[in-house]
Amino acid sequence: MISVIIPTLNEEGRIGALLNALAWETVPYEVVLVDGGSEDKTTNEAAAAGAVVLSASGGRGAQLVAGVNAAKVDIILFLHADSRFPEGGLTRISKSMADDERLCGGNFRLLFDGDDPFSRWLDGFYVWLRSPGFYYGDSGIFVRRDVYDTMGGIRPIALMEDYDFVRRLEAHGKTCCIEEPPLRTSSRRFEGRRPAAIVFGWFLIHGLFHLGVSPERLARIYNSTRRRR
């Protein structure tokens, strides 16, 4: 069985589509949705679909921690609400874990749903990043619960909680990337922004993270770069 942890904030409409996609899965699973203070019908849609609905403040990292604390099974999958989860995705996770007991976790190959050249460039960029073991929460990170606990879990920091977790997961042991079927995610975060500004912001935040800049300061810088068009 797999626990699907979904952090949300004002995801009405999108969360329903994701939960409907999961409903077609044949592998037993539970959904734990942790809301960060939505002002729309996100939690109503999730509850109607049978999800366990919790609330947590303090950002996405804190939401993920709360979700894991409520999870009851041995494999954890983190999903973003704007993910388009592939049919049979849970089966691929379950089979990968069952076939190799050394496997600690992994993620899916990520594709962006935008119909533009930059989205296609991002598709390739994320493939390139995955080769040395760099990936993020939007790619559907999964992990064995015992591995998660041994690693100390996700840290409830203001930014880069997924990157921080993945660096420790990669150092802990063997991981895999599920190439087929890929997981698709929304390109909405890039809408109205210049590609050069997006790439600059990405390298800036990662460089500062490795220099030891605090997550709180990184969050302020990140929000500033996102306002640049």
**Is a pLDDT exceeding 60 seen at residue 102?**
yes
Residue 193: the pLDDT is 85
Both 111 and 222 in one domain: the answer is no
Co-location of 86 and 156 in the same domain:
yes
Residues 37 and 143 in one domain: yes
Same domain, 20 and 60: yes
Judgement on whether residues 183 and 202 belong to the same structural domain of the protein = no
Q: The pTM is what?
A: 0.95
Strand order in the sheet with 29-35: 52-55, 29-35, 2-8, 75-78, 142-144, 103-112, 174-185, 83-84
The string of pLDDT tens digits covering residues 177-214 is 999 999 999 998 888 789 999 999 999 999 999 999 99
Q: List pLDDT tens digits, range 126-153.
A: 999 999 999 999 999 999 999 999 999 9
Q: Which residues constitute the domain of residue 9?
A: 2-188
Clarify whether residues 77 and 19 are in a common domain. yes
Tens digit of each residue's pLDDT (9 = 90 or more) over 21-43: 999 999 999 999 999 999 999 99
- The share of the chain scoring above pLDDT 90, in percent, equals 92
Cα separation, 229 vs 169, whole angstroms: 34
CA atoms of 189 and 35, how far apart (whole Å): 19
Indicate the helix (H) or strand (E) that contains 108. strand 103-112
Q: What is the pLDDT of residue 186?
A: 93
Number of structural domains found in the chain: 2
CATH classification of the domain holding 107:
3.90.550.10
Asked whether residue 62 falls in the same domain as residue 116, the answer is yes
What average pLDDT is seen over the chain? 95
Q: Are residues 198 and 181 in the same domain?
A: no
Same-domain check for residues 108 and 213: no
Instruction: Looking at the structure, tell me whether residues 228 and 179 fall in a common domain.
Output: no
Question: Rounded to an integer, what distance in angstroms lies between the CA atom of residue 9 and that of residue 51?
Answer: 15
Whole-angstrom distance, CA of residue 197 vs CA of residue 222 = 11
Does the pLDDT at position 224 exceed 90? Answer: no
**Same structural domain for residues 213 and 119?**
no
Q: Evaluate the omega torsion of the peptide bond into residue 195 and state whether it is cis, within 30 degrees of 0.
A: no
What pLDDT, on the 0 to 100 scale, is given for residue 229?
Answer: 54
Statement to judge: residues 211 and 160 lie in one domain: no
In whole angstroms, give the CA distance from residue 97 to residue 76: 11
